Structures are given as C-alpha cells and as structure tokens.
Structure 1
Amino acid sequence: MESIAKAATPGKTNDGDGLYFQVSKSGDTSWIFRYKLDGRSREMGLGPFPAVTLGQARQLAADQRKLLASGSDPLATRDAAKEAKREAERQAAARRTTFEDLAREYQQAHGGSWSEKWRKGWLRKLELYAFPTMGKLSADIISTEHVLTALQPIWATKTRTADEIRGQIEQILDAAKARRLREGDNPARWRGHLDNLLSKAEKKKARQRQHFPVLQWKDTPKLIADLLNIDTRDAIATRLLILTGARYHMIQHSMARV
C-alpha cells in the first residue's frame, strides 16, 4: 500500500462505502470519508497514511456510517467531542488556579504604575482578610457566602478597608471571568447585590470626608511648645506652617529641598 501511495498521482481513490484514499498535490497521503446529509456532500478527514492503516481507516469509516444511520452528523459529533475535551481541560485548569494565584497575577499585570507602598498594601489587605477565607479556592466556586465571610467581620469597624477589599475581590473575579476561569455574576459586586446584604449606611459614612476640630488661636502657643518636643520633619514642617502662614504644599516643596 505504501509503495502504491508513493507512485500515485494526486487525487482520490474510492475504497468503497464512502472511504477514499487521497493524494494531495504535494504528495501527502490521507484518508477521507465522504457522505451526504440533507442532500449536501461533506468530507471528513480520518487521518494521514501510513499513520492510519487501511484497516483502521475502514473501521473509522464504519463508525461514521453508524452515526449517520442514527441520524447524527459525523463532523458535528467530532466537533462537539473536541469542544467537550477543551472545556474539560479549561475546568481542570480553573481548579488548579487559586484565588490567591489570581490576585498575585492581577497585581503583577496592573501594579506597574502603582507606588511600592500601594502595591504592598493592596496585597496585604487581601492576605489579612480575603485569603484566609478564599485564598485556596478556585475562582469558579467562590460564592457570595465566601465574600460575606471575609467582609462581615470588619464591615462595621473597618468599613473603608472592607469596601476596598470588596472592590479588589470584584476586580480579580472579573479578570478570572475574562480568562474563562469562572462563569456567572460576580459575587463581590456592590450595586444590586451586596448593597442588599451589607449596611449601606456604614459604607456611606466611611466614604464621607472627616474633618478634625478647628484649633482655637489661643491654644496655638501650647501646640508650638508641644511640637518643640517632637524631633521629626513633620513636626518641624508644622511649626513652619504655623509661623509663616504658608500653604501645606509650599511647606512640602520646601522640606523636599532640605
């Protein structure tokens, strides 16, 4: 058979029952199964020769005829099997990738423009409050309950931090969905979801600007005396600010040149 294949001219040779031996213009040889479905002729590759022998090709062709007899399209059936295999591989990869892995990858991808302090703080908040609950879980199984378990203990006492963590979890899970590592709604989203489960009043209160009480002018000498006992750049800058009446950004600029 192999010697015949080498000598064959380009074209198709019918072996019977829809099986054809094909020689391409470049001399490559393979097996083709030809069939009709709904009045349309279709061709399905069964593999290269000699990797697929004549006996194997005949068995493969017989399998496709059985599918046709059952009313199935051999090509569509094969494509569905390939897609199912890819989906199984994707799910296996998703199970191997933990939330902690995704968080560190997100920081690596987006943290290039962040300050070093922000990079460390961004990850540290997750290490303290999110990773103990969901760090070892894959993104596809993280639910609202997991998010609430991480946030509820600190929502009333550290609302601003808790809301920042909520936003981080939402971003990480959105990125996981974009990579097809999870499906469905994001369990960390606020509007229309967690806003029904966590106190809105606490969130609003945490986001309000907090002002310190105004210092009365008669208390200024005592403040300056107290600052004299503090040997730091901040204390020196504050005294200079008081004595000159300069704006804070001017003091910052002056101290940067010291």
Structure 2
Amino acid sequence: MEDILIAKSNEFTVAKLKSLPSGKYCDGQGLWLHKRADGGAQWVFRFRLWGRQREMGLGSLKTVSLADARRKADAVRQQVYAGVDPIKERRLQRQQANARDGRLEALAMATFEAQKPSLKGANANGAWLSPLRVHVLPKLGQMPIVKIDQDDIARALASIWHEKTVTAKKAISRLRIVFKYARAKGFLVNREVIEEAVIILGENKKPSKPSLALPWSEVPAFYQTLADEDPTQLALRMLILTGVRANSVINMQLSQINGSIWNIPALFVKGRLSNTTGFDVPLSPEALNVIELAKKNERTGYLFPNSTGGPLNKMSMRNYLVDKKVPARPHGFRSSLRTWLSDQAQCPFEVAEACIGHVRKGDAAIDAYNRTSYLTQRIPYMHEWAAYVSGNS
C-alpha cells in the first residue's frame, strides 16, 4: 500500500484557520485547506494510491468544521490503507442514491443514446426503445433501477407475454441491455432478476406466424394488376422483381442506381449483409422499366415518395394488399421468389439465399473470409424471375 501524503499532524487550530491568507495549507496526514482570495475555503484530502496522486474534496470550511474535516479525513484515510479508492466509492454511493439519474427511465434513455450509432432506420429513430416505452416504463420508469426485482418485471410484462410475444421478447432484450449499461455506469444492479422474471412469466409458446405469401404460380397474375403511375404499386412491382425487403424499396433513390446494379446502402440492409458497402442487387430489364416509370414521381431523390417528398410510408404496400384483399404481405413475396428459385429454376442453395439477401451462418472463421454475394451468379436467375413475373418470358 502506498503512503498518504503526510505533513505535520493537527497543525491547525480554529483561531489559526480564521487568520490564514489565501493559499494551500496542510493540517497533516493528507488533510489540506485551500483558501481562495475571495474568502472561500475548501477542505481537500490528498493521497497516493496505485501509483496515482489524487485529491478528494471534503466540503467547504463554511459547512465542515475543523473537527468534522479531521473525522472525514480519517475515514477516507482508512479506505486508502485498505486499498479502496475513496473517490470511486463516493461516486458509486452517490449513483445509488441519485433518485433521478438512477431511475429506469433515465437509464433507458441513456442506453438508447449510447446504442444509436449502431442502430439503423426506424430503430435509430426510436423504434428500438418502443417496447420499453410502451410496456415497461409507464409501470417501472420512475423506480430506481437498483430496486427493481423479478416480480416487478414479470408484472409489467404479464399482459403481453403470451399475446404479443415478439414485442415482449424485444422488451426483455432491451431490458438486458439497459441493465448491462447501468452496471457499467456503476449502478449495483442484479442482472439475474431479468432471467428470473422470464421464469416467473413461463415458457412463451405462441408460435410466430410466417408472412402471408402467394404461391409463385399466382404472382404473375397479381403483378399484371399493378399500375404504372401510383408510387405504392410501383414500389410493389420493384419489391416483387428484386426480392428485397420493403425498407430497402421505400428508401430507394436514383443515386443508388449504377447502370443495371442497385446498391442498397448498409443503413437499409438487414443482418450480416449490412456491412460498410451495402448490398448489390442486379436489375432486370423489367426492373429498369419500373425505375423509368417511377422517375415521373421522383421527389427529393426518392423514387417512391410520399405526399411530402419523403420515402413512402412503410405500411403503404401492406395496406394496399389488405385493401385489395390480396392474401399476401410484402415480405411474403420473398418467399414466393425463394420457392420459385428452388422449385422451378433449380437454383443452387447458396445463390438462391443470396438472391433474397440471406447469408447462411456457419463456421465463424469461414464466414469471415467468404464474403461473396454471388452477384454474377444471381443475375440470370433474377432476370428469368422478372421475365416470368412480367409475362415477358
């Protein structure tokens, strides 16, 4: 253990303190008084621990008497002798007692801000926080995070645990991240209470429902019903032709098109394909024709704009299908394409998966080196699919 910075012990008297001019004075064993020219004065404890010289404030002379300062210094001195950093300990204690910053809501917001740089699209705009904001924070947001237990969490999520399974699981996932963040910030939370809450809630058996999809043989007939002018219908045509996700289509811009290749920015690509270069999609003659039609509606760069010039609402294509009573959802057309690639085109598995932007996860070491997107191999299959769908085969 390293030594306290020691000078003479108990150098001060109460009378002497009043007469000291501005400057720094040592009472002994690390206790110092810093007097300012304006008459103010601050007690400071100096110590050396783990090779570092530190100073810790003990309060002002106005509120802390000489006797109190010596008692405080003695308590801190004992911590240093025991190898405990008194500054860090005080910070931890203050955090636990902080009624505002230590509440779940404040820490959830801080966690969200810390996560933002790694989030994309709607998640970066607040969707990441939505499961907590809607289902957890109204009930637990004002509680200090260190006082939240498994029963609190279970009660907060009980009403949606078996009815809105995806949302409930997202809420649990977000809570894990918030608790981990809080722990990193020094709050003495017990992260096990989240797992214990899951045990209390019971097994979540509600199966997830796959997106409604048209059989591939019925896609051409539906495609022929889509108009040449309406942005929503043109967006549906592009989605069907390319097999990409709806978020990529509604954010499609002219600047992303390079000849017959569409480079989807990483911001709008899901999963491991979401790298710094985005994802290249081959454009068939029919897809290029849709782009030419969409140029008539282009606003602020978006090929499929909404009424104010921003990207089409993410629900627009879904709502169109519902209104027309089409038994499919936008995501389901990816299934239609994927099934056609296997059943009709006899496309190799890896290439078929790449056509819809899937990358099979295998050995991590192999994945790190095998970064191909099978672009060249995908081109003939996507051209054949577009010709089949549009009736030009």
* Equivalent residue, structure 2, for 1:128: 134
Retained in 1: the 8 A contact 2:165–2:204?
Answer: no
* Equivalent residue, structure 2, for 1:196: 199
Partner of residue 104 from structure 1, selected from 100, 109, 112: 109
Deviations 1:191-241 (A, max 9, x none): xx34422343527x34xx836466273x456534554599422333367x3
Separation (CA, whole Å) in 2 of partners of 1:163 and 1:109: 21
Deviations 1:9-42 (A, max 9, x none): xxx77xxxx7568xxxxx965333xxxxxxxxxx
Q: Secondary structure of 1:187's partner?
A: helix
Distance change in 2, residues 1:251/1:124 (3 Å): farther
* Equivalent residue, structure 2, for 1:148: 154
- Pair 1:215-2:218 in alignment: no
Separation (CA, whole Å) in 2 of partners of 1:74 and 1:135: 35
* Aligned partner letter, 2:237: I
Distance change in 2, residues 1:140/1:256 (3 Å): farther
Q: By how many angstroms is 1:131 displaced?
A: 1.2
Distance change in 2, residues 1:215/1:174 (3 Å): same
Q: Secondary structure of 2:193's partner?
A: coil
Structure 2: unaligned runs, 5 residues or longer = 1-6, 13-22, 36-40, 44-64, 245-280, 295-393
Deviations 1:141-169 (A, max 9, x none): 11112211222211112111110111001
Q: Secondary structure of 1:157's partner?
A: coil
Higher Rg:
1
Q: By how many angstroms is 1:175 displaced?
A: 0.7
Please give the residue correspondences for 1:45-56 in structure 2 after superposition, counting only pairs within 5 Å: 45-48=30-33
Deviations 1:108-127 (A, max 9, x none): 11211322411221122222
* Aligned partner letter, 1:158: K
Retained in 2: the 8 A contact 1:31–1:49?
Answer: no
Distance change in 2, residues 1:166/1:220 (3 Å): closer
Retained in 2: the 8 A contact 1:167–1:188?
Answer: no
Retained in 2: the 8 A contact 1:102–1:176?
Answer: yes
Retained in 2: the 8 A contact 1:99–1:134?
Answer: yes
Number of residue pairs matched by the alignment: 201
Aligned sequence identity (%) = 18
Distance change in 2, residues 1:226/1:127 (3 Å): same
Distance change in 2, residues 1:77/1:121 (3 Å): closer
Deviations 1:46-71 (A, max 9, x none): 5459989xxx97x78xx88xxxxxxx
Separation (CA, whole Å) in 2 of partners of 1:147 and 1:87: 24
Deviations 1:53-110 (A, max 9, x none): xxx97x78xx88xxxxxxx999427989x677655423222x2222121111111112
Higher helix share: 1
Retained in 2: the 8 A contact 1:174–1:186?
Answer: no
Retained in 1: the 8 A contact 2:140–2:152?
Answer: yes
- Pair 1:76-2:81 in alignment: no
- Pair 1:235-2:240 in alignment: no
Separation (CA, whole Å) in 2 of partners of 1:137 and 1:148: 15
Distance change in 2, residues 1:199/1:238 (3 Å): same
Distance change in 2, residues 1:28/1:92 (3 Å): closer
Distance change in 2, residues 1:19/1:130 (3 Å): closer
* Aligned partner letter, 2:157: L
Retained in 2: the 8 A contact 1:140–1:182?
Answer: yes
Separation (CA, whole Å) in 2 of partners of 1:28 and 1:195: 57
Retained in 1: the 8 A contact 2:151–2:197?
Answer: no
RMSD: 4.3
- Pair 1:184-2:190 in alignment: yes
* Equivalent residue, structure 1, for 2:61: none
Distance change in 2, residues 1:156/1:30 (3 Å): closer
Retained in 2: the 8 A contact 1:99–1:135?
Answer: yes
Separation (CA, whole Å) in 2 of partners of 1:116 and 1:74: 49
Retained in 1: the 8 A contact 2:228–2:234?
Answer: no
* Equivalent residue, structure 1, for 2:307: none
Q: Scaled by the length of structure 1, what TM-score is found?
A: 0.58
* Aligned partner letter, 1:165: A
Retained in 2: the 8 A contact 1:100–1:135?
Answer: yes
Retained in 1: the 8 A contact 2:179–2:191?
Answer: no
Retained in 2: the 8 A contact 1:170–1:186?
Answer: no
- Pair 1:31-2:32 in alignment: no
